[in-house]
């Protein structure tokens, strides 16, 4: 029953007999979405209450490797110049709520307040994961790989895909991306000797069809953390399945051939917060002598790529997507 509506008891005859409104003893629950992107964001501890709506991160660019570091006896030590870049992350208010009546709570077959809380928690998780995903897949994540054959693809380094994908992901693409991240970008591993890959079901299907995914129980050791949705690894990339369409699309490229994905190392996306979203109850919403109540989720949080460049030793993310 929607908020504000009244109960109406109807009859199957003109007098006396109620229609059968028998309800199942179990409510069918849509599977609650669980965080997939949020756990891979890094909380920036230097931001807190009373510090304004944004933080500017300053990062120092790596020094170039000299041809030689040797010195002659009468030679002064050469002096290099440090250069820096900046990135700003802005915090936002987030929240949604649901109103319910005391009458519905008192007379309903099910505990409406409890069901509302479950649905709001599900909604909050979806919204927060989408917000984190937007940082991983936004134009500040500059490096893009577009599959254009079974073995090769096109690179873009300005944050915008310039061509359409014509193939789904294959093992050859993962090998190419892994080597580029290690040899060209020198991306630090996220954990141990592994990068993390967040992949849609369709993107993973290409790898499953190649029969190349090594099961997680083959490479994890006692005490290692198994991430939610982790299915295995290929070429130093641990794969996590994402079935949240608004976070990663299952249908991009020519003829919707490609499922989107991101592969990243350490320090990819930062998170600032003063209150991470959580449930709040308002027992006497809109007064009326306690006849109306509401539950909402609310928080203050912001996400952003920490290194918005495609430069060596700075870029941390490779997006697999299409124009």
Nearest CA-CA partner of 180 in 19, 11, 316: 316
One digit per residue, the tens of pLDDT, for the chain of length 323 reads: 444 444 444 444 444 443 444 444 444 444 445 799 999 999 999 887 877 788 888 878 888 888 888 998 888 999 988 888 889 999 999 999 998 776 566 555 556 777 888 899 999 999 999 999 999 999 999 999 999 999 999 999 999 999 999 999 999 999 999 999 999 999 999 999 999 999 999 999 989 988 899 999 899 988 888 999 999 999 999 999 999 999 999 999 999 999 999 999 999 999 999 999 999 887 766 667 667 888 899 999 999 999 999 999 999 999 999 99
What are the distances in angstroms from CA 106 to CA 6, 111, 113, 224, 283? 14, 8, 10, 47, 14
Which H, E and C letters describe the chain, residue by residue?
Answer: CCCCCCCCCCECCCCCCECCCCCCCCCCCCCCCCCCCHHHEEECCCCCCCCCCEEEEEEECCCCCCCCCCCCCCCCCCCCCCCEEEEEEECEEEEEEEEEEHHHHHHCCCCHHHHHHHHHHHHHHHHHHHHHHHHHHCCCCCEEEEECCCCCEEEECCCCCCCCCCCCCCHHHHHHHHHHHHHHCCCCCCECCEEEEEEEHHHHHHHHHHCCCECHHHCCCCCCCCCCCEEEEECCEEEEEECCCCCCCCCECHHHCECCEEEECCCCEEEEEEEEEEEEEECCCCCHHHCEEEEEEEEEEEEEECCCCCCCCCCCEEEECCC
Q: What is the pTM of this model?
A: 0.83
- Residue pLDDT, tens place only, 62-87: 888 888 889 988 889 999 888 888 89
Domain ranges of the chain: 145-265
Strands 269-282 and 292-305: antiparallel
- Residue pLDDT, tens place only, 124-179: 999 999 999 999 999 999 999 999 999 999 999 999 999 999 999 999 999 999 99
């Amino acid at each position: 029953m929607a908020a504000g509506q009244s109960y109406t008891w109807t009859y199957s005859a003109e007098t006396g007999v109620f229609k059968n409104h028998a309800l199942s003893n179990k409510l069918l629950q849509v599977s609650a979405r669980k965080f997939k992107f949020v756990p891979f964001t890094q909380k920036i501890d230097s931001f807190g209450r009373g510090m304004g709506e944004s933080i500017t991160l300053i990062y120092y660019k790596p020094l170039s490797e000299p041809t030689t570091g040797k010195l002659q006896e009468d030679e002064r030590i050469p002096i290099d110049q440090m250069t820096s870049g900046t990135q700003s992350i802005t915090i936002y208010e987030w929240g949604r709520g649901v109103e319910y009546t005391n009458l519905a709570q008192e007379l309903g077959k099910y505990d409406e307040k409890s069901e509302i809380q479950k649905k709001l928690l599900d909604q909050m998780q979806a919204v927060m994961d989408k917000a984190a995903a937007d940082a991983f897949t936004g134009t500040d994540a500059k490096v893009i790989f577009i599959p254009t054959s079974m073995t090769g693809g096109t690179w873009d380094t300005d944050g915008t895909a310039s061509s359409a994908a014509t193939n789904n992901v294959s093992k050859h693409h993962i090998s190419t991306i892994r080597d580029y991240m290690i040899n060209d970008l020198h991306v630090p591993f996220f954990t141990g000797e592994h990068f993390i890959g967040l992949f849609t079901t369709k993107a993973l299907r290409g790898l499953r069809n190649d029969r190349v995914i090594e099961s997680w129980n083959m490479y994890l050791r006692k005490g290692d953390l198994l991430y939610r949705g982790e299915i295995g690894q290929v070429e130093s990339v641990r794969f996590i399945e994402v079935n949240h369409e608004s976070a990663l699309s299952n249908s991009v490229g020519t003829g919707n051939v490609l499922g989107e994905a991101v592969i990243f190392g350490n320090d990819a996306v930062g998170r600032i917060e003063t209150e991470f979203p959580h449930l709040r109850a308002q027992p006497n919403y809109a007064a009326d002598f306690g006849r109306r109540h509401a539950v909402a989720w609310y928080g203050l949080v912001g996400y952003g790529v920490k290194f918005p460049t495609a430069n060596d030793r700075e870029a941390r993310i490779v997006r697999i997507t299409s124009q």
